[in-house]
Structure 1
Amino acid sequence: MKSLQITFEPGLTRNATLRDHLAAMVHRGAGLTAVAGQLDMAPSKLSEKLAGCDSGGKLRGLSIDDLERYIAVTKDVSPVHYLIERYLITPEAASAEALAELHKNLSALSGTLAKMGIRWP
């Protein structure tokens, strides 16, 4: 079995779904028109796929092929990181990360208090 270490900024799952995350990345990044052009797709079609339906409410799905093509042409791997954060981070790993962050913050707080002349263990 191979092991893989992945480093990314947490918080990708602030979007409720992968589709919402992808829409945010498209709009925050190059923009709908530019990304649609990279995907060889009309901006209106990409907009419908990102919304999940057209203006009449008819379902318009974003396929796995669309997702893979998006990652390939934009080099944005955050959708993969989104899925990892959503489904692969164990509670133990999350606790270990939180503990490390707490330790870092306490160290910084100790330094700040010392600068203020306050002794703290």
Structure 2
Amino acid sequence: MLYSILIYGSESAVGAWAPGVEDDMLERHTDLRDDLQSQGRLGTVLRLMPDTATTVRHTGAAHPLVTDGPFAETKEQLMGIYIVDCDTLEQARDAARRLDFETGVFEIRPVTWYDPGVIAARIPQV
């Protein structure tokens, strides 16, 4: 079954990390991706850019309210997404545990539809 691992955290806390802390976290991500890819179980992986969200909210009016910023009613912001192919929910939980970081919250949900699309993998320069 496909599972999504939604990664939430405090963008301000992550932005204040010392360089070594982020390097350690990114190394754990690389290790997990390498393991899952070698097993043919890795789908799309996304890291969302901080402080660049646009929110569209249904208001019941003729047009939705559009605002700049991640203004969902939450302390944490959605920071990234993994799609993984796991036999059990426990396997998906194990994958999420490997990504743990201070302020990190990981929501695991089954995926009912998946289309990987045709965009080649890339890491944009920011």
| TM-score range for the pair, normalised by the shorter chain length | under 0.3
Does 1 or 2 have the higher relative contact order (CA < 8 Å, sep 6+)?
2
Q: Would you tell me which structure has more strand in proportion to its own residues? A: 2
TM-score by length of 2: 0.23
Larger radius of gyration: 1
